[in-house]
Amino acid sequence: MSRLRAPRTSPPSAPELVRRAVSTLFPMIVPRPIDAPPLLEEHLIPEVGVEELRWAYGRVRIGAAPGPDGIPNIASRQRWRHFRKLPPRLYGGSGQRLVLMLKPGKPAMEPSSYRPLCMLDTAGKILERIIAGRLETHTEGPAGLADSQYGFRKGRSTVDAIQAVLSTARTAISGKRWHRGTKEYCAIITLDVRNAFNSARWNKILIALNQMEVPAYLLRIVSSYFLDRVLEFTTDDGSETFEVTAGVPQGSVLGPILWNVMYDRILRLKLPRSAKIVGFADDIAVTVVAKHLDLVEFYSNETIRLVRAALTDLGLQTADQKTEVLLVTSRKVRETITLRAGDHYITSAPCIRYLGVHIDARLRFDEHLRIVNDKANRVAGALLGIMPNIGGPRSSRRRLYASVVDSILLYGAPAWSEAAKTHDYVRRAASIHRRACLRVICGFCSISHEASYVLASIPPLELLIDERSRLYHRRLENVGSEERARTIEKWQAKWARSTKGRWTHRLIPNIIPWIERRHGEANYHLTQLLTGHGCFRSYLCRTNNDTSDRCPACPLAVEDAEHVIFHCPRFAEEREGAPSPLSRALGNLRRW
C-alpha cells in the first residue's frame, strides 16, 4: 500500500472536533439499573478448561493493534500458552482506546463522518472469546436467533442475505399476470439505523439474553461487562477519557453477538402477511409482495411503521432520509410507488444498493455490472502502476495484486451470474481481468486472452464466475478443491479448442503441471519466449516495427521464438548458460 500514490489520512486530533465526534458517536444515555440475576448455589459455573483456553488464544490475530495496555498480541499470546486454567484476576477494567476512521467521501469536519473503532486489551478479548463461545450455544439453539439474521453468524454471509431478498422478488414476478396468474409486484425496502452499535441499550440486551434462557452466571458476566466502561482518546491537548453508557464496542469480540441478541426482536416482528424481513447486522431489508400497487403501498407503509416503532422501543433511530425503495416488476413500462418513513416520503428508484450489490427493477443487474466494472478498472489502474514489466515484484506476488481486481469483479457472483450471461459484462470485465494478468506475466498487450490466463495461472473470468456460483450452491460441503479441479478441467478443454496462443500451447499443452509447479517465475524475458510476442523480427515485422522478418544470421529462416530458442547460432552461448537475460529465461524454460 505504501507504493500506491493515494492521499493519506490520519485520525483527527483537533480537540474540539474529536470531542464533538465522541459525544456524537457515543450518546450519553441515562443508564437504567441493571438487575443481574442472583447466582444460587445450585447454579454450577463450568470451569474454563485447557482446550477452551487454547481455542480462545488461537483466535487472537498476531497483527491486530494492541489495546490501552500497549502489549503486542504476540506477547500476550505467548504468555497465555503457559496457562492451564483461566486466571482468577484477569479482567481488571473496561478501558477501550478509540480510533476514528474517516468514511470515504465524507466531510472531515462532520463528527458523523467518522467510523469509531475501539482497541481492547488482548487479555480482555480472550475472556470475551470464551464468553461468546458459550453464548453461541444458546443463540444458535432452538430458542436462539431468528433464521432471517445473516450477520455475524457462522456459515452465513452477505450473499445469503442478498439471495433471500432476490428469491422473494424472483418468485413474485414469475409466471403469468392475469387470469389466475401468479405474477405479482414486489417492493424491496432498505432501512438504515443511525449510529446503531453505539446506541444499543444495555438493559435491552440483558432482557433479550434472559428470554433466550441464558444461564445466570453468563448474565451476571455480561452485566459486569457493561459496568464502568471508559473510552480513551487522544487530542492535541493530550489524553482524555469519556464515560460510555450504552452501545457495544465496534472492534470487540462480544459486540456482534450481543447486538444480534438485542436486534432479534426486530426480525421476529409480526408483519403483514405479504411482508418478509431480512437482517444483516444492523441492515434491514423488507420485501412486500402483492397483486396490485395500492396493496403494495398499503402493506409497505404498515411494515415501515411497525419496524420504526420497534426500533424506537429499543432506543434506536432510523435515518429516514436514507431509506430506499425498489419496485420489482416485469412490466416494460416503469411504475413507481411512494412510501412514508417518518416525516419523509420516498419514491421508488430504478435501482438501489443492498449489501454492496445494486439491484434494479427488472433484476437484470445492468447497473451493478457497470458500476463494478468502473470500480475494478480504477483499482486495476492503481495496482498496475506498481507492477512494471521490467523490475517490480515477482510474479507470485503480482498474482496476489491481481486477485484484488478479481475480488471486486466477482463480489456477489451467485446473485447475478445468470443475468451476466445475457450481457456483455464478461467481455468488458474480461478486458480488465486480462490487464491484470498481463502485468502478472510482464507481457505485451498483443498477447491473446487465452495465453495470458495460462501463463498467469489464473482461470478465465467466466469460469471463475461459474465456480463461485457452484461453490455457493454447495457451501455446506467442503468442495473447494473439487470445484477448482472442475474449473481447471473446463479451462483445459477450452485451451485445447482455442485457435489462439498456439505457440504457447505447443510449449504448455497441459495446464495443471504449469500452475502446480514449485519453481520458476514468469518475467519479462521468459514471457517473450513463451508467447513469441517480443523482440523477434517476425513479431516486429507483423506490428510494422521492422521491415523484414528474416534472421540476420540465417537469411533463409524467419526469426521467431522457436528459431531463437532452438536454432539460431547467434545465441549458442546463451543456450550454454552464459549470464544474460536471455540465458536466464532459457534456464527457466529448461527447468519447466
Domains of the chain: 15-143+203-254 (no CATH), 164-193+261-360 (3.30.70), 366-534 (no CATH)
Those residues whose C-beta lies under 8 Å from the C-beta of residue 391, and which sit 6 or more positions away, are none
Return d(Cα 27, Cα 259) in angstroms, integer.
17
pLDDT tens, the chain, 592 aa long = 556 665 666 788 898 999 999 998 998 887 665 666 676 655 677 888 778 877 877 777 777 777 777 777 777 666 656 655 555 545 445 578 888 988 888 888 888 888 888 888 877 888 888 899 999 988 998 888 999 999 999 989 999 999 999 999 999 998 776 666 778 999 999 999 998 999 999 999 999 998 888 888 899 889 888 888 888 999 999 999 998 889 998 888 899 999 999 999 999 999 998 999 999 999 999 999 999 999 999 999 999 999 999 999 999 999 999 999 999 998 888 899 999 999 999 999 999 999 999 999 999 998 999 999 999 999 888 888 888 888 888 888 889 888 999 999 999 999 998 887 766 777 888 899 999 999 999 999 999 999 999 999 999 999 999 999 999 999 888 899 999 999 999 999 999 999 999 999 999 999 999 999 888 888 898 999 999 999 899 999 999 998 899 998 898 899 999 998 888 888 888 777 656 665 665 566 555 5
Please name which of 392, 393, 395 lies closest in space to residue 521, comparing C-alpha atoms: 395
Please name which of 180, 177, 392 lies closest in space to residue 293, comparing C-alpha atoms: 177
Using a 10 angstrom Cβ sphere, with 0-12 exposed, 13-18 middle and 19 or more buried, the burial of residue 510 is exposed
Output the DSSP codes for 338-354: EEEETTEEEEPBSEEEE
* pLDDT for res 427: 83
Task: Return the exposure string of 440-462: e unless at least 16 CB atoms fall within 10 Å of the residue's CB, then b.
Answer: bbbbbeebbbbbbbbbbbbbbbb
Answer for the pair 307, 266: CB distance below 8 angstroms, yes or no: yes
Q: Is 326 helix (H, G, I), strand (E, B) or coil?
A: strand
In 10 A of CB 98, how many CB atoms?
25
* pLDDT for res 92: 46
* pLDDT for res 287: 97
Using a 10 angstrom Cβ sphere, with 0-12 exposed, 13-18 middle and 19 or more buried, the burial of residue 5 is exposed
* pLDDT for res 338: 95
* pLDDT for res 32: 62
State the first-to-last Cα distance of the chain, in angstroms, to the nearest integer: 33
* pLDDT for res 410: 94
Q: Which residue is associated with the grid cell 437484470?
A: 364
